[in-house]
Amino acid sequence: MSIICPIGGVIINAVKAFADPRGWLIELYRQDELDSSQYPAMSYVSMTKPGVTRGPHEHREQSDLFAFIGPSTFRLYLWDNRPGSATFGMEQKYEFGESRPATVIVPPGVAHAYKNIGDSEGIVYNSPNRLYAGWGRQKEVDEIRHESDPKSPFRVDE
């Protein structure tokens, strides 16, 4: 089931856990449900401690495919920073995680951050459509970091 995000190009899908006596399984992505430009090029998992924020940052060319499935809860922040976009300047916030698992595709030019607002360490999966620092880690990183800029318009609730 899709969740409507008014920021153009952001795709949010609620995900379902398929449970049985052994545990559960959640599909993070399927090629038959993605545009070919969004096919992941790599994948990684990160752990974020309670109260900690990652970002905000954005990418020039890369789309991120995040999976927020638990065990904690994250607040996701999105800011459309694409001057030619019909939704330029729009901001959105969502809460995803254990009680509301979802995948989110964040396109290039949409600044984003997430904060662990739960009480436990949280796990986030990311399968971006570009390799970090390019093939063999030989290119400039496709990232514009905003978290250290005191004049940044991209602010995360404290």
CATH number of the domain that residue 103 is part of: 2.60.120.10
156 within a domain of the structure (yes/no): no
85 within a domain of the structure (yes/no): yes
Cβ-based neighbour number of residue 72 at 10 Å: 21
58 within a domain of the structure (yes/no): yes
Global confidence as pTM: 0.92
pLDDT tens for 128-140 read: 999 998 899 999 9
Range of the domain at 94: 2-145
Which DSSP string do the residues of 7-40 spell out, in sequence order?
A: STT-EEEE---EEETTEEE-----GGGS-GGG--
158 within a domain of the structure (yes/no): no
10 within a domain of the structure (yes/no): yes
105 within a domain of the structure (yes/no): yes
pLDDT tens for 45-57 read: 999 999 999 999 9
Tokens encoding 17: 């856990």
Whole-angstrom distance, CA of residue 11 vs CA of residue 4: 8
What is residue 101's predicted lDDT score, i.e. its pLDDT?
Answer: 95
